[in-house]
């Protein structure tokens, strides 16, 4: 495994629509392993392949809604599609590609995603709250959308300071 460089918003890779993954091979596994290491190193909750310069539909989401004493679960999403969405939330969102900036983004409260795993097997996974937001945020990345282009407003300095202590939870 190796750390990959996380591109920032200005990089053209982040504005491109990514292509489907068609080869579930060692190269994909290497990418996912490297992305996992990169995500953990950055203390984020999600990372999409274009953020490390790979224009393929692959992303990681950390499921943090787990019982106490249990570790968050890292979900690998290949070719993910939102198949159900309900409710609405307006929470502060950040991105590892937009360091230090947060904005309020409207997202569904719960979403169900259909995706493939690293071997090509289809599965469905649901998420709510932060996890739902993260699913949507990462899938947006695969379509070349960064949250700053769809947020209702950026947070003020005061609001920023208030969330600084929990920034690890909101950077995806």
Rg, C-alpha atoms of the chain: 15
Query: Which CB atom, from 16 or from 119, has the smaller least distance to Ni ion?
Result: 16
With CB atoms as reference, the residue minimizing the distance to Ni ion is 95
Would you call 138 a catalytic residue per the annotation? yes
Residue (36 or 120) nearer to Ni ion, CB? 36
Catalytic residue among 76, 93, 138, 171: 138
Tokens describing residue 102: 């947060």
The minimum distance between CB 51 and Ni ion, in angstroms, equals 6
Tell me the residue ranges of DSSP E strands in the chain: 46-48, 58-63, 73-86, 89-93, 103-107, 110-116, 122-128, 153-154
Q: What residues contact 47, with CB distance under 8 A and at least 6 apart?
A: 6, 35, 38, 39, 59, 60, 96, 138, 172
Q: How far is the CB of 5 from Ni ion (least distance, A)?
A: 15
Shortest separation between residue 25's beta carbon and Ni ion, angstroms: 26
Q: Which residues bind Ni ion (CB under 5 A)?
A: 95
Six-digit token string for 60 = 């990681």
Nearest to 28 by CA among 110, 116, 101: 116
Q: Could you tell me the smallest distance in angstroms from the CB atom of residue 52 to Ni ion?
A: 11
Between 95 and 139, CB nearer to Ni ion: 95
Nearer to Ni ion, 3 or 121 (CB): 3
Q: What residues are annotated to the active site?
A: 138
């Amino acid at each position: 495994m190796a750390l990959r460089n996380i591109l920032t918003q200005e990089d053209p890779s982040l504005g491109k629509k990514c292509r489907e993954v068609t080869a579930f091979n060692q190269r994909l596994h290497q990418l996912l392993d490297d992305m996992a290491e990169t995500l953990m190193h950055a203390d984020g909750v999600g990372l999409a392949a274009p953020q490390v310069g790979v224009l393929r539909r692959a992303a990681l989401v950390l499921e943090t809604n787990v019982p106490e004493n249990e570790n968050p679960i890292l979900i690998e999403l290949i070719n993910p599609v939102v198949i159900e969405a309900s409710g609405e939330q307006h929470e502060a969102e950040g991105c590892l590609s937009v360091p230090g900036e947060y904005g309020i983004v409207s997202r569904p409260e719960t979403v169900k995603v259909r995706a493939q795993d690293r071997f090509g097997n289809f599965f469905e996974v649901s998420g709510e709250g932060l996890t739902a937001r993260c699913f949507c945020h990462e899938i947006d990345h695969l379509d070349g959308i960064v949250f700053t282009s769809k947020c209702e407003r950026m947070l003020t300095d005061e609001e920023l300071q208030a969330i600084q202590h929990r920034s690890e939870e909101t950077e995806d």
